[in-house]
């Protein structure tokens, strides 16, 4: 049976104690975003995810979406859950009040997003895609398009998608063939085929707004000749009512290993009417607003599923009795002890816990930077936030989903043979989260983005946004009695990251294949150090709270668990950094030596 309760206590720790949510109220437009308000939102979100989304997670997976005559039907309960979701305004949390949004900070939106993904990942894709479309249109759409379409995307009556991939091109979008022909009235006729379109067709909303990449007749070849167009499923009348069906059809849905309740569609555009978003031949600039938002959201998917898998495994490990503790019976009144007493089971559970809580802390750090990036006026502080978000986006997407998959797989292992039995719900988590490592740019592509774009940009300025605060913390706390034992090994891991960065910077300039061969190991190393930084800081906060006294038994237990998990992370997980450095410094030789025909 699947178990998920929103981890509200840990979310409050990350928001308020580790990252100081009170500072958000000093940003323009967030004056009312007090810690009390944020806590209230978290509590209400926990209710809807527990009452509406979790109960239809396993059933939605079993039923899946159905396709017949161009119509996609979502599983039983999804329409009702979506109606409740929209009525509660959950898709409008971080949207601009100008368009009906609530104008809340990104950090709270990301916490709610984690709850949605933890309780029902497939459901979360529908409003998630709509928010991404909202961001792209808000950033680059004309005032007329924004004023007409954004309120409907925000209130959830219309949904959004992004249509990039074609049968012959995925990552290499420069090869796309979809055409856009200008019309006398300023609109365009869009013709072409798209695949892997999440939420491309469904029965949750009355209209669907597709953001489509296509080429103008005179467009230059390659990536520089791509424009972005808004193409609605139904052509709206001036008053917002629905008019004629546009020339866009779903021609089929994919039968997938996971997220089966999310419709992954094949779409056909046959002289569909659309309107340009942004400037001609600069569609990728607009689409990347949506893609980068989705990449952070996909990282949150890895975290959400990892948390759900962990909670389910903990519940099972406490109840399942098998064997005796190696140090003697812990449950002498019964024929065996619960498996949570066994060191290897505890290793897997602690690894999952360390990954989840570390990723949550890092997610809130990045989300706070998103708020500064979006709300501060141009200047050094906003530039710093922009650099940091750009640097961390590929890390969050790839590292969080890698860890989400590892966590789900290890938690399934705790169940033994019962883990791969469908009725227990664990194997769904493994299937669902494995897909997150692929879509929105595979994790290998994210690693190439990190070493090929984010590392060298502006002479390494983005890297300094991470390296400097880490180095300052190490210097300030090297002799701190609360965390000294953790800071010293963490400092060695950080040193490994610095050496790897210098190695790739030097070798990659001379030979791009050297950077490519090291990319995935480097992203893993970066992610491990980033989580280590979150754990060292968390341990420091927890030690201070315990030293201050006056805590309830529950709070004291929470802070002791923080320190224990931080110690486990530093002692048992972070040492991987040294091995990754050795692998990186081995260079590309053995990776590239084998001739293609020999594989």
Which residue, of 95, 111, 140, is where some domain finishes?
Answer: 140
The answer to whether 294 touches 206, Cβ cutoff 8 Å, is no
Same domain? For 364 and 262 the reply is no
Query: Residue 509: what pLDDT?
Result: 80
Which residue, of 240, 263, 285, is where some domain finishes?
Answer: 285
Q: What are 369's two structure tokens?
A: 């930077």
Q: DSSP letter string over 3-51? A: -----HHHHHIIIIIIS-GGGGGGSTT-TT--HHHHHHHHHHHHHHIII
Domain assignment present for residue 148? The answer is no
Q: How far is CA 131 from the centre of its chain?
A: 13
Same domain? For 509 and 372 the reply is yes
The residues of the chain scoring below 70 in pLDDT are: 170
- Number of folded domains that form the chain: 3
Q: How many whole angstroms separate alpha carbon 300 and alpha carbon 529?
A: 19
Domain assignment present for residue 599? The answer is no
Query: Residue 572: what pLDDT?
Result: 98
- Does the CA dihedral 69-74-77-78 come out positive or negative? negative
- Report pLDDT digits (tens) over 339-397: 999 999 999 999 999 999 999 999 999 999 999 999 999 999 999 999 999 999 999 99
Same domain? For 273 and 295 the reply is no
Query: Residue 459: what pLDDT?
Result: 84
Nearest alpha-carbon partner for 341 in 350, 330, 333: 330
Domain assignment present for residue 153? The answer is no
CATH of the domain at 301: 1.20.140.10
The answer to whether 396 touches 295, Cβ cutoff 8 Å, is yes
Q: DSSP letter string over 332-373? A: TTSSS-BGGGSHHHHHHHHHHHHHHHHHHHHHHHHHHHHHHH
The answer to whether 370 touches 418, Cβ cutoff 8 Å, is no
Same domain? For 438 and 501 the reply is yes
Domain assignment present for residue 1? The answer is no
Q: Render the burial of 283-313: b for 16+ CB within 10 Å, e for the rest.
A: bbebbebbbbbbbbbbbbbbbbbbbbbbbbb
Q: How many whole angstroms separate alpha carbon 479 and alpha carbon 566?
A: 18
Same domain? For 130 and 188 the reply is no
Strands 188-198 and 207-214: unpaired
Query: Residue 586: what pLDDT?
Result: 96
Same domain? For 310 and 268 the reply is no
Same domain? For 273 and 300 the reply is no
Same domain? For 98 and 197 the reply is no
Q: DSSP letter string over 106-147? A: HHHHHHHHHHHHHHHHHHHHHHHHHHHHHHHHHHHS-HHHHH
Same domain? For 480 and 522 the reply is yes
Domain assignment present for residue 598? The answer is no
Q: How many residues does the chain have?
A: 599
- Which positions are annotated as active-site residues? 440
Same domain? For 261 and 273 the reply is yes
Q: How many whole angstroms separate alpha carbon 83 and alpha carbon 373?
A: 32
CATH of the domain at 16: 1.10.540.10
Same domain? For 172 and 46 the reply is no
Which structural domain range is residue 43 located in? 8-140
- Report pLDDT digits (tens) over 188-214: 999 999 999 999 999 999 999 999 999
Which residue, of 285, 303, 321, is where some domain finishes?
Answer: 285
Nearest alpha-carbon partner for 544 in 487, 482, 486: 482
Which bin fits 505, alpha (ψ -120 to 50), beta or left (φ > 0)? alpha
Same domain? For 227 and 318 the reply is no
């Amino acid at each position: 049976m699947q178990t998920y309760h929103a981890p509200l206590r840990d979310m409050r720790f990350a928001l308020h104690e580790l990252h100081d949510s009170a500072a958000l109220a000093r940003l323009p437009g967030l004056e009312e975003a007090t810690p009390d308000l944020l806590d209230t939102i978290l509590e209400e979100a926990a209710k809807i995810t527990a009452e509406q989304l979790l109960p239809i997670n396993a059933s939605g997976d079993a039923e899946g979406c159905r396709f017949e005559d161009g119509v996609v039907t979502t599983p039983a309960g999804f329409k009702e859950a979506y109606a409740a979701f929209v009525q509660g305004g959950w898709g409008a949390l971080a949207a601009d009040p100008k368009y009906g949004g609530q104008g809340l900070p990104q950090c709270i939106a990301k916490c709610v997003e984690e709850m949605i993904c933890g309780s029902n990942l497939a459901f979360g894709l529908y409003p998630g895609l709509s928010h991404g479309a909202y961001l792209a249109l808000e950033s680059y759409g004309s005032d007329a398009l924004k004023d007409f379409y954004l309120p409907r995307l925000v209130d959830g009556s219309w949904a959004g998608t992004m249509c990039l991939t074609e049968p012959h091109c995925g990552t290499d979008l420069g090869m796309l063939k979809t055409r856009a022909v200008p019309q006398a009235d300023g609109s365009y006729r869009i013709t072409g085929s798209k695949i892997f379109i999440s939420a491309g067709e469904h029965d949750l909303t009355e209209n669907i707004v597709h953001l489509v990449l296509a080429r103008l007749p005179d467009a230059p070849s390659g990536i520089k000749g791509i424009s972005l167009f808004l193409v609605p499923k139904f052509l709206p009348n001036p008053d917002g009512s629905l008019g004629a069906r546009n020339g866009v059809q779903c021609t089929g849905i994919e039968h997938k290993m996971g997220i089966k309740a999310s419709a992954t569609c094949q779409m056909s555009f046959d002289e569909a009417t659309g309107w340009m978003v942004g400037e001609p031949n600069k569609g990728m600039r607009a689409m990347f607003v949506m893609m980068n938002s989705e990449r952070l959201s996909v990282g949150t998917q890895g975290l959400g599923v990892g948390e759900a898998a962990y909670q389910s495994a903990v519940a099972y490990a406490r109840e399942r009795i098998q064997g005796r503790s190696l140090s003697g019976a812990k449950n002498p009144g019964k024929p065996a002890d619960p498996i949570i007493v066994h060191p290897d089971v505890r290793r897997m559970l602690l690894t999952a816990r360390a990954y989840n809580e570390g990723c949550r802390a890092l997610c809130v750090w990045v989300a706070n930077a998103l708020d500064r990036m979006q709300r501060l006026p141009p200047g050094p502080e906003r530039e710093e936030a922009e650099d940091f978000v750009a640097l961390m986006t590929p890390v969050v997407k790839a590292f969080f989903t890698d860890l989400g998959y590892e966590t789900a797989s290890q938690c399934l292992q705790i169940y033994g043979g019962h883990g791969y039995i469908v009725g227990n719900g664990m194997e769904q988590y493994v299937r669902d989260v494995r897909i997150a490592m692929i879509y929105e740019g595979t994790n290998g592509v994210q690693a190439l983005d990190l070493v090929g774009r984010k590392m060298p940009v502006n002479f390494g300025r983005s890297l300094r946004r991470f390296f400097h605060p880490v180095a300052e913390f190490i210097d300030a706390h090297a002799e701190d009695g609360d965390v000294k034992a953790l800071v010293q090994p963490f400092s060695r891991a950080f040193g490994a990251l610095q050496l790897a960065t210098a190695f790739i910077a030097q070798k990659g300039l001379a030979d791009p294949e050297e950077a490519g061969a090291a990319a995935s190991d480097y992203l893993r190393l970066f992610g491990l150090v980033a989580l280590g930084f979150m754990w060292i800081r968390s341990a420091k906060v927890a030690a201070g709270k315990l030293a201050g006294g006056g805590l309830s038994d529950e709070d004291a237990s929470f802070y002791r668990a923080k320190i224990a998990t931080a110690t486990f992370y530093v002692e048992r997980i972070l040492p991987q950094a040294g091995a990754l450095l050795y692998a990186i410094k081995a260079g590309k030789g053995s990776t590239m030596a084998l001739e293609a025909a020999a594989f």
